[in-house]
C-alpha cells in the first residue's frame, strides 16, 4: 500500500515569502494615479518547468512568459525579454491554478442586502455575495495553500440562498478579486435541524414545499407586473426583490446550485430542477456511487466534496457489533466515488467543501487517484471543468496564452505522494511557500570553544524552521554522553537551541546560537549563555553531511497494490447488510400449488389450491388449476398463501421528517418528496408480509401534508417504490395533537386550541379553496386583471373539493369525528379514511352512512386522554355496522406482524377469520382506493402475496416469503442462508479497517446522515413520555425524539443532590 506522506500536510506556509511581482498598475482601471506613477517592469519568465498546459497536455522543459497578470507566452525556449524577471523552475511542475466551485459563507442579512424580501426568511435569492464580499486573507491563504487561485463564494444559509461570486484568492481588492458577480443561485432543499416548532418550515418536506411555492411566486411576480404595466388600472403588485431575483433562474439563464446531503437528496433536487426547467448543478455528498446509474441519468454536473469518511469504530467487540456493514462499506467505497462518477461520464468538479480541514484536500485527491480517478480527470476537476462551469473557460483553468496568470508550481506531479506545492500565482501575484532551504542542515559538526569537556559533536537534522538535534560529549575518561537539544530551530542561517547544563557542570540550561557563514554549512561560529550568566564562544566544523532527505521513494503503483486497495464488495441496494445486488426477477408462469389460499376475494378460502402468476399479475386462483406448459411449479404443501399485507398508516421510509408542524395548514407539503428507500424498516416489514404501505404525514396540524402510497420494493429507489395508480391523498388530524395539548405549556397560542377551533379552521380552508378556485376560473375566462397566484396549499384543497384527493384523518373522539363528517358533507366531500378512529364504534352507523372507512389500531389505548375509551372491539363493531375496517401499524415494530393484529379481530368480538384477514389486506386496499390492483388474490390483480408457514392468523406461524409484482422480495430461507455471507463481509471489513491503521470514528465524531436527523415516526401520535422504557424500546425511533428523551433523562439525573 502506498504510504501517504503526512509531512506535506504539515508545511508551514509563510505568507511573508511572497514578493510583489509586477503589479496591477497596468491593468485598465478608473482609479486616478495619486503621487508618482509605478512603472516597475512587469514581465516575468518562468523557465524550464514541466508545464501541464491542461489535462493530458504537458510541455517538458517549457517556459512561461507572464506580463502583468496574464500569461503571454507558453512554450519551449522562450526568449527572456529585457528587464524581465527570470525564475528558474528546475523541472518543477506547473499547473493552472485550481478553482473551487463551491465555497459557502455566511452572508449577513441587513436591510441593505435584503431589499424588499420574501415573506419567509429562508428564501433570499436577492442576496448577492459580491455586494458584501470582503476578502479575508486568512481564508484565502487556506485555499492558496492547496493550490486554489479562484473560488466560488456562495451564500451558505437558508433554502433559496442568494447569488454567488467568483473571486480570486490573492490579496487584491474587490475590483480585481471579483471575477464574476451574480454567478449562480444557491438552493438547499432542507432546513437546519432544531428550528423551532413554530418556525415554518421546520422539516425538509416543508423546505421543498416552500421552495416550490417560491418558484411559482417568482413566475407569478413577473406576470403580475406585466399585467400592471400593460394596464395601469390593474392593481400594482407588491415590490419583492426576492421574487424579482428568481427571474433569471426561472428562464434558465442563471444556473442553480443545489446542495445535497446524500444521493437521495441529489435525485430529489434533480426532480425539483426538472419541474421548473432549471439549469442545475449539484453539490454532491460522496454517496453518489450508491445510486450511480440514477445520478448519471440526471446528466448534472457535480461539484464533489472529497471528505472521505473515517472508519467506523471496530476497536472493541461491542463497538464492532454496533458498526453497520453499511458504514464499513461506505468507508471502503467512498474513496472510489469520484473515480466511479467520472468513469460513468459525469462532469465532476472537486471542492474543498466538507473537509474538516482544507489541508486534507490534496491528500484526499491523491487517494481518489489511487482509487480510480485518472490524473487527467483529477486535474480537469479542479481546473478546466470548474472554469467552464463558471463561464470562465477562456480565462481560467489552463496554462495558455491570454489566460490569467493563475499557476500552481509543485515539486513533482501533484497527484503523487511526496509532491509539494512550491509556489502559487494568483493573477500574477506570486506566493512562495517553501523557499529552498538556504542550508542543508543534516549532518554532524565538531564544536570547539570554551565549553567544558574534551570533545563536543553537534548533530542536526530537519527541514526547518524546527530542527532535531543533540550534542554528544566525550569527557576526559572517554565516556560519551548525548544530550538532546530542545527548541532547536533555524532562521536564515542561524541555528539556535537549548540544552541542559549539567553535563557541563553548570546549573540549569545553556542556550546557544550558531551562525553558518558558508553556503554548505561547513563552518560556523556561535556563542552560548548559561542560566548562571556565564557565556562563551565556539566554532563548528562539519564532520559529515547526512544523505539528502529529499530521496524519492517510488510509489509502488503495481497492479497488485492497486488490487488490495480496491473496495472489497460491490455496491448493493441499499448499501449494507440486507441490500440486494439486483432487482428480483419477475416470474413467468409461476404456479404455486398445494396451499391453503386465503383469497380475501369472492372465492373465499380454498384448501389445497393453486395460484398461477405471470409477469407480475395473478392469472388464476383455484383448486384444480392445470399447470400451463413451461410453468414453474412451487409446491407449498402445508403452507398458507394470502394477499400481501397493506398498512394504511405508516411513517417509515421517510427521511424528510414526518411532521411539518409550524403551521396549522400545510397541505402543500408532500411525503412523496422524501421517500427513503434505505430505511431498514422496509425490509423488516417485508419480512412480516407487508407489500404496500401508506406513508402518512404526521398529526401535528389540522390539515397536514400529502401522503404517499408505496410498494415495499426493497432495493429500488424511492421513486420506484411509489405505487403507480394510487390516488392522491392528504393527512388531516383532529383533537389533542392539533390543539397542541401535549406539546408543553408554552404552546398555547397557535390557532386552534380547541376542538371547536379545529372544526372552524377546516371549514375555513375549504372556503378559501372555493374562493381560490373561483378566482382562477374567473381569470381563466377573462384573462383580465392581475393573475392569481398559484398556491400549492390551496391547489391541494381544491383537489379535495373536486374529489381528486382523499382525506385520511387522524381522529379519536366521536364528537370530532362527527363534526368533521358533517363539515365534509356540507362541502360535498366523502372522506377517504378515518385514521386511528378509536371511538369509531360510537358513531359507526354515521360513518357507514357517510361512506367513511376506518383504519384503526387493534388494541392500543390509554396512552393519552382522548384514547381513554379506545377498545379492542372497535374493529368488530365498525365492521358490524358496515364500515370498511382496517388495522394499521403507525409503528415500525407493529408493522412487522400485522397478521397478529388481524387475529385480534377474531379475539375481540369474534370476527370470522377470513374477514379478519381482510382487515390487513383487502380493506386497507379499498381504503386507499387501490383495490382494483391489490388487496386480494384474484385474477388480474398484482401478484403481491405472502407465503406463511401456517395459518396466517396464528401467532405460531411465520412469514416465509413476500412477493410484490411477481417478484420475490423476501425469502426467510434465503435470509437465513445469507447470514454467513453477512458475517464474512463484516469480518473482512473489520479486518481491513484494523489493518489500515487509519483512525476510527470516535464515539462522538460519527457522521450523522441527513436521514438520521429526522424522526421516522409521528412524534405527536402517541405522546411518548417514557424514558427508560424508550431506551429499551430500541434504536429505530427518530433520532430527534431519542435525543429529547435522553436529555430529559439526563436532566432528571442531574437533579439528584442527596447521596
| CA-based nearest residue to 86, from 126, 43, 141, 45 | 45
- Shortest spacing between CB 336 and other proteins, in angstroms: 22
Helix (H) or strand (E) segment spanning residue 774: helix 755-782
Q: Measuring CA to CA, how many Å separate 873 from each of 151, 629, 909, 972?
A: 66, 49, 6, 33
Taking the least distance from each CB to other proteins, the nearer of 99 and 575 is 575
d(CA 753, CA 819): 16
Which residues, other chains included, contact 295 with Cβ-Cβ below 8 Å and sequence gap of 6+?
A: 263, 266, 267, 288, 302, 341, 344, 346
Closest to other proteins by CB, 439 or 677: 677
SS3 643: strand
**Residue 672 cell numbers, joined:** 412523496
Residues 6+ positions from 553 with CB-CB distance below 8 Å: 3, 417, 418
Nearer to other proteins, 115 or 1006 (CB): 1006
H or E stretch covering 1011: helix 1010-1013
Whether 208 and 673 have beta carbons less than 8 Å apart is answered as yes
Residue nearer to other proteins on the CB measure, 173 or 1050: 1050
Task: State in angstroms the smallest separation of the CB of 956 from other proteins.
Answer: 5
Q: How far is the CB of 992 from other proteins (least distance, A)?
A: 16
Task: Find the shortest distance in angstroms from Cβ 754 to other proteins.
Answer: 17
Cβ at position 842, least distance to other proteins in Å:
6
The residue (of 5 and 1027) whose beta carbon lies closer to other proteins is 1027
* For other proteins, the closer CB: 77 or 1056: 1056
Q: 604 in helix, strand or coil? A: coil
Which one, 293 or 1028, has the nearer CB to other proteins? Answer: 1028
Residue 765: alpha-carbon gap to chain centroid: 36
Whether the CB-CB separation of 540 and 446 falls below 8 Å is answered with: yes
User: How would you write 302-322 as a 3-class SS string?
Assistant: EEEECCCCCECCCCCHHHHHH
Assigned C-alpha cell, 663: 403551521
CA distances from 435 to 49, 441, 492, 801 (A): 17, 15, 11, 75
CB of 1052 to other proteins, least distance (A): 6
Task: Evaluate whether 772 touches 797 at the Cβ level (below 8 Å).
Answer: yes
Minimum CB separation of residue 27 from other proteins in Å reads 50
Looking at the DSSP bridge assignments, the partners of residue 728 are 805
CB nearer to other proteins: pick between 42 and 886:
886
Q: Rounded to an integer, what distance in angstroms lies between the CA atom of residue 219 and that of residue 252?
A: 12
CB nearer to other proteins: pick between 84 and 1013: 1013
Closest to other proteins by CB, 514 vs 577, is 577
Question: Residue 668 or 676: which CB sits closer to other proteins?
Answer: 676
Which residue, among 937, 950, 939, has the nearest Cα to 642 in the 3D structure?
937
DSSP letters of 376-415?
HHHHHHHTHHHHHHTT-TTTSSS--TTSB--EEEESS-TT
- Continuous segment of H or E residues that includes residue 530: strand 523-530
Count Cβ neighbours within 10 Å for each residue of 443-479 and write b for 16 or more, e otherwise.
Answer: bbbebeeebebeebbbbbebbbeebebbbbbeeeeee
Helical segments of 64-203, H only:
111-114, 129-132, 137-145, 174-177
Query: Rounded distance, CA 86 to CA 84, Å?
Result: 6
Task: Give me the residue label for grid cell 396451499.
Answer: 595
Find the length of the chain: 1059
Output the CA–CA distances (angstroms, integers) from residue 1004 to 428, 809, 1001, in the order listed.
Answer: 45, 40, 8
Answer yes or no: are the C-beta atoms of 457 and 444 closer than 8 Å: yes
Residue 18 φ/ψ region, left for φ over 0, alpha for ψ in the -120 to 50 degree band, beta for the rest: beta
Name the residue among 374, 310, 363, 362 with its Cα closest to residue 338: 374
For the bound state, the minimum distance from the C-beta of residue 904 to other proteins, rounded and expressed in Å, comes to 6
Q: Which residues of 632-658 are buried (b: 16+ CB within 10 A; e: fewer)?
A: eebebeebbbbbbbbbbbbbbbbbbbb
Shortest separation between residue 1032's beta carbon and other proteins, angstroms:
5
Q: How far is the CB of 950 from other proteins (least distance, A)?
A: 9
**Quick check: helix, strand or coil at residue 272?**
helix
Minimum distance between the CB of residue 900 and other proteins, rounded to whole angstroms? 6
Q: Which is nearer to other proteins, 593 or 741 (CB)?
A: 741
Residue closer to other proteins (CB basis): 161 or 842: 842
- Closer to other proteins by Cβ: residue 747 or 790: 747
Judged by CB, which is closer to other proteins: 591, or 821? 821
Nearest distance, CB of residue 1028 and other proteins, angstroms: 5
Task: Give min distance, CB of 955 to other proteins, in A.
Answer: 3
Looking at the Cβ atoms of 149 and 835, the one nearer to other proteins is 835
> Residue 516 CB, nearest distance to other proteins (Å)?
47
Helices and strands (H and E) in the chain: how many: 32, 44
CB of 852 closer than 8 Å to CB of 833 = yes
Min dist CB 264 to other proteins, Å, is 17
Q: Of 641, 637, 686, 648, which is closest to residue 945 (Cα–Cα)? A: 641
Nearer to other proteins by Cβ, of 756 and 1046: the residue is 1046
We find the least distance from the C-beta atom of residue 441 to other proteins, in angstroms, to be 41
Pick 400 or 846: Cβ nearer other proteins: 846
CB 887 to other proteins: min, Å = 12
Least distance in angstroms from the C-beta of 570 to other proteins: 17
Residue 615 DSSP SS3:
coil
Amino acid at each position: 500500500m502506498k504510504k501517504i506522506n503526512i509531512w506535506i500536510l504539515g508545511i508551514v506556509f509563510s505568507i511573508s515569502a511572497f514578493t510583489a511581482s509586477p503589479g496591477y498598475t497596468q491593468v485598465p482601471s478608473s482609479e486616478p494615479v495619486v503621487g508618482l506613477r509605478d512603472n516597475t517592469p512587469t514581465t516575468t519568465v518562468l523557465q524550464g518547468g514541466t508545464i501541464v498546459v491542461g489535462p493530458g497536455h504537458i510541455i517538458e522543459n517549457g517556459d512561461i512568459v507572464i506580463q502583468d497578470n496574464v500569461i503571454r507566452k507558453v512554450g519551449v525556449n522562450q526568449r527572456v525579454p529585457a528587464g524581465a524577471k527570470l525564475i528558474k523552475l528546475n523541472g518543477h511542475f506547473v499547473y493552472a491554478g485550481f478553482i473551487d466551485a463551491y465555497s459557502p459563507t455566511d452572508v449577513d442579512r441587513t436591510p441593505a442586502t435584503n431589499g424588499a424580501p420574501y415573506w419567509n426568511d429562508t428564501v433570499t435569492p436577492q442576496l448577492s455575495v459580491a455586494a458584501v464580499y470582503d476578502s479575508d486573507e486568512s481564508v484565502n491563504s487556506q485555499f492558496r495553500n492547496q493550490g486554489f487561485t479562484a473560488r466560488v463564494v456562495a451564500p451558505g444559509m437558508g433554502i433559496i440562498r442568494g447569488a454567488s461570486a467568483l473571486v480570486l484568492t490573492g490579496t487584491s481588492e474587490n475590483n480585481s478579486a471579483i471575477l464574476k458577480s451574480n454567478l449562480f443561485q444557491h438552493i438547499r432543499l432542507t432546513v437546519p435541524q432544531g428550528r423551532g416548532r413554530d418556525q415554518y418550515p421546520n422539516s425538509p418536506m416543508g423546505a421543498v414545499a416552500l421552495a416550490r411555492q417560491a418558484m411559482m411566486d417568482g413566475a407569478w411576480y413577473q406576470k403580475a407586473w406585466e399585467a400592471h404595466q400593460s394596464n395601469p388600472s390593474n392593481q400594482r403588485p407588491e415590490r419583492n426583490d426576492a421574487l424579482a431575483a428568481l427571474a433569471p433562474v426561472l428562464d434558465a439563464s442563471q444556473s442553480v446550485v443545489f446542495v445535497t446531503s446524500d444521493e437521495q437528496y441529489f435525485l430529489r433536487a434533480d426532480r425539483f430542477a426538472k419541474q421548473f426547467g432549471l439549469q442545475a448543478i449539484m453539490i454532491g455528498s460522496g454517496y453518489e456511487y450508491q445510486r450511480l446509474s440514477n445520478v448519471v441519468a440526471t446528466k448534472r454536473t457535480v461539484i464533489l466534496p472529497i471528505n472521505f469518511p473515517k472508519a467506523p469504530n471496530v476497536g472493541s467487540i461491542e463497538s464492532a457489533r454496533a458498526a453497520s456493514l453499511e458504514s464499513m462499506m461506505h468507508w471502503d467505497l467512498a474513496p472510489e466515488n469520484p473515480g466511479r462518477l467520472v468513469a460513468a461520464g459525469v462532469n465532476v468538479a472537486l471542492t474543498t467543501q466538507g473537509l474538516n480541514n482544507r489541508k486534507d484536500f490534496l491528500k484526499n485527491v491523491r487517494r481518489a487517484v489511487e482509487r480510480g480517478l485518472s490524473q487527467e480527470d483529477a486535474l480537469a476537476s479542479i481546473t478546466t471543468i470548474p472554469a467552464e462551469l463558471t463561464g470562465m473557460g477562456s480565462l481560467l483553468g489552463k496554462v495558455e496564452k491570454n489566460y490569467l496568470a493563475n499557476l500552481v508550481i509543485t515539486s513533482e506531479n501533484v497527484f503523487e505522494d511526496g509532491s509539494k506545492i512550491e509556489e502559487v500565482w494568483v493573477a500574477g501575484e506570486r506566493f512562495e511557500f517553501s523557499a529552498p532551504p538556504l542550508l542543508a542542515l543534516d549532518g554532524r559538526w565538531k564544536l570547539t570553544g570554551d565549553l567544558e569537556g574534551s570533545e563536543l559533536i553537534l548533530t542536526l537534522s530537519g527541514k526547518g524552521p524546527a530542527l532535531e538535534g543533540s550534542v554528544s560529549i566525550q569527557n576526559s575518561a572517554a565516556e560519551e554522553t548525548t544530550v538532546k537539544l530542545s527548541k532547536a530551530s533555524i532562521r536564515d542561517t542561524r541555528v539556535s537551541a537549548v540544552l541542559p547544563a549539567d553535563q557541563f557542570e553548570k546549573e540549569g540550561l545553556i542556550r546557544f546560537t550558531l551562525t553558518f557563514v558558508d553556503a554548505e554549512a561547513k563552518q560556523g561560529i556561535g556563542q552560548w549563555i548559561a542560566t548562571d550568566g556565564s557565556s562563551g564562544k565556539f566554532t563548528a566544523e562539519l564532520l559529515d553531511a547526512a544523505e539528502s532527505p529529499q530521496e524519492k521513494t517510488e510509489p509502488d503503483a503495481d497492479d497488485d497494490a492497486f488490487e488490495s486497495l480496491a473496495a472489497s464488495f460491490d455496491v448493493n441496494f441499499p448499501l449494507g447488510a440486507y441490500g440486494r445486488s439486483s432487482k428480483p426477477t419477475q416470474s413467468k408462469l409461476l404456479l404455486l400449488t398445494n396451499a391453503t389460499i386465503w383469497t380475501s376475494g369472492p372465492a373465499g378460502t380454498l384448501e389445497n389450491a393453486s395460484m398461477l402468476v405471470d409477469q407480475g399479475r395473478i392469472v388464476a386462483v383455484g383448486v384444480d388449476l392445470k399447470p400451463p406448459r413451461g410453468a414453474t411449479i412451487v409446491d407449498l404443501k402445508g403452507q398458507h398463501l394470502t394477499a400481501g399485507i397493506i398498512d394504511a398508516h405508516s411513517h417509515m421510509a421517510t427521511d424528510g421528517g414526518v411532521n411539518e408542524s409550524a403551521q396549522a395548514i400545510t397541505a402543500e407539503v408532500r411525503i412523496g418528496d422524501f421517500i427513503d428507500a434505505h430505511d431498514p424498516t422496509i425490509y423488516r416489514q417485508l419480512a412480516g408480509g407487508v407489500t404496500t404501505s401508506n406513508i402518512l404525514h404526521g398529526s401535528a396540524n389540522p390539515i397536514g401534508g400529502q401522503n404517499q402510497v408505496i410498494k415495499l420494493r426493497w432495493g429500488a429507489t424511492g421513486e420506484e417504490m411509489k405505487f403507480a395508480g394510487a390516488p392522491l391523498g392528504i393527512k388531516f388530524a383532529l383533537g389533542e395533537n392539533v390543539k397542541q395539548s401535549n406539546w408543553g405549556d408554552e404552546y398555547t397560542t397557535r390557532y386552534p386550541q380547541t376542538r371547536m377551533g379545529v372544526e372552524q379552521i377546516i371549514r375555513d380552508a375549504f372556503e378559501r379553496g372555493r374562493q381560490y378556485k373561483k378566482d382562477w376560473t374567473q381569470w381563466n375566462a377573462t384573462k383580465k386583471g392581475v393573475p392569481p397566484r398559484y398556491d400549492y396549499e390551496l391547489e391541494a384543497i381544491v383537489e379535495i373539493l373536486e374529489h381528486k384527493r382523499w382525506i385520511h384523518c387522524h381522529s379519536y373522539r366521536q364528537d370530532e369525528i362527527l363534526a368533521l363528517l358533517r363539515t365534509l358533507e356540507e362541502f360535498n366531500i366523502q372522506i377517504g379514511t378515518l385514521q386511528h378512529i378509536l371511538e369509531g364504534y360510537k358513531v359507526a352507523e354515521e360513518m357507514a352512512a357517510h361512506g367513511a372507512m376506518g383504519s384503526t389500531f387493534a388494541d392500543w389505548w390509554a396512552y393519552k386522554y382522548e384514547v381513554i375509551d379506545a377498545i379492542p372491539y372497535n374493529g368488530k363493531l365498525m365492521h358490524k355496522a358496515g364500515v370498511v375496517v382496517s388495522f394499521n401499524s403507525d409503528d415500525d415494530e407493529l408493522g412487522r406482524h400485522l397478521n397478529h393484529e388481524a387475529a385480534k379481530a377474531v379475539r375481540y368480538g369474534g370476527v370470522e377469520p377470513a374477514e379478519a384477514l381482510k382487515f390487513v389486506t383487502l380493506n386497507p386496499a379499498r381504503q386507499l382506493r387501490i383495490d382494483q390492483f391489490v388487496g386480494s388474490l384474484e385474477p388480474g390483480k398484482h401478484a403481491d402475496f405472502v407465503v406463511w408457514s401456517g395459518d396466517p392468523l396464528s401467532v405460531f406461524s411465520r412469514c416465509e416469503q413476500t412477493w410484490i409484482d411477481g417478484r420475490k422480495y423476501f425469502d426467510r430461507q434465503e435470509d437465513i442462508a445469507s447470514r454467513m455471507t453477512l458475517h464474512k463481509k463484516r469480518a473482512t471489513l473489520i479486518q481491513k479497517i484494523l489493518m489500515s491503521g487509519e483512525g476510527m470514528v470516535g464515539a462522538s465524531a460519527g457522521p450523522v446522515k441527513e436521514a438520521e436527523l429526522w424522526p421516522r415516526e409521528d412524534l405527536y401520535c402517541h405522546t411518548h413520555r417514557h424514558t427508560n422504557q424508550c431506551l429499551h424500546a430500541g434504536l429505530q425511533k427518530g433520532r430527534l425524539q431519542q435525543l429529547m428523551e435522553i436529555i430529559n433523562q439526563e436532566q432528571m439525573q442531574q437533579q439528584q443532590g442527596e447521596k
